[in-house]
Structures are given as C-alpha cells and as structure tokens.
Amino acid sequence: MCLTTSSPDNIGGDKYIILSPPPMAYYLTKPCLIQSSKTLYYTGDSVWSDDILDKKNFPTRGPLDTLIANADGKSGGFKNATVVEA
C-alpha cells in the first residue's frame, strides 16, 4: 500500500510513503453451551466471556492451535473452539 504526497519543497516529484498492513491477530471463539445463540471469546487463563471486547488477541495462530489440540484430553474447555483471524 502506498500513499502519494506532494510538497512545495519537492517540486516536480512525488514523495511516497510505504504503509505496512497491520499485523494479523488471531483469537478463539466457541458456542455457549447454555445459550447456543451466544458466542464466547477466550480471554486467557482458561476464561471465556460473551463480550467481544474481552477477547485476547494472539499475534500468531500456533498457541491457539496448541490449546485446541487437547492431546492429553485435559483441556476440555476448548472443545468446539475455533481460531478466528481478525
């Protein structure tokens, strides 16, 4: 993404400012077991909230995939969780 600007001290030419895209963020959601119409958002430390403003963003997907994997069968709180790219 580029932004073109002209200024009086740059007569006859343009200045280009390279804008980087914002970094990707990932978060977890899962359906609420009690009210299926509600979506829960992972806030960290095995805590979930129905308020999207409480969600915890992760810079990479890897840690979230690890939480969901449940290889030892002990992280049942992440059953039906989905990684979402923001």
Provide block-wise average pLDDT over 10 residues at a time, the chain (86 residues): 49 69 90 94 94 96 90 79 94
pTM of the model: 0.70
The Cβ-side half-sphere exposure at 54, using a 13 Å CA radius, reads 13
- pLDDT at site 49: 97
Q: Is 28 exposed, middle or buried (0-12, 13-18, 19+ CB in 10 A)?
A: buried
Residue 67 sits at φ, ψ, to 5 deg, of: -65, -40
Number of H helices, E strands in the chain: 1, 6
Give the per-residue pLDDT at 2. 43
